[in-house]
Structure 1
Amino acid sequence: MNPKTPKRIATLFVLATLTPLAAFAQQQQQPPRPDFGGMARALGVTENAIKTCMPAPAKGQLPERPDPVRIASCLSDANPALTPAKVDDVLKAHGPKGSRGN
């Protein structure tokens, strides 16, 4: 057995152990995602329209509270009957659980 073999085995073991842990830790830091499909159904628009009109957080940043007025305005072509109050109700019902008092 080569004298470097135990060091290589130890290095591989450490890498094999730490890589999944690092990935798990990164996933734990990501904020919960809203239910875009549920929002789309409740607002009578496509899921793609919702995702286009929702503010996306910068990488590594927590998302800001969505502005119902801005979202209703953005979705007005998809559903002209939408009001900011309806959008706000849907955001509260389908937003990420555990945030904003949900």
Structure 2
Amino acid sequence: MLRWLWYTLSRKCVEYIKNFVNTRPDFVEYYQKTVVPEESFVQTILVNNKKLNLVNDDKRYIDYTNAIAGSPRTLTVQDYATITKGNFHFARKFDLKQDAEILDKLDSLIFT
């Protein structure tokens, strides 16, 4: 089974995780014995630090409208305005054979 694991973390969060892992070998050892550690390892560390300001926004644009077998819809040039007006770091999914124009437009926006 393919799993998607994406995080958008600040440097402060990454440094906190690194320091936590380095100072809590018992925590790491516990997670080494769990079935799917990636589903809660990072979240457990960060959520339990009340000094961090966590936001439930992964900065991804993925459209599951009319999803086929759980796969997101392929984005086209018609999605350009939505993608560029939103505060997204990534978008999924594209297919050059279906619509290369969307990628050309995004490249022009980024590289000009």
TM over 0.5: no
Question: Larger radius of gyration, structure 1 or 2?
Answer: 1
Higher RCO (CA-CA < 8 Å; seq separation 6+): 1
Structure 1 or 2: more strand by fraction: 2
TM score, norm. by length of structure 2: 0.25
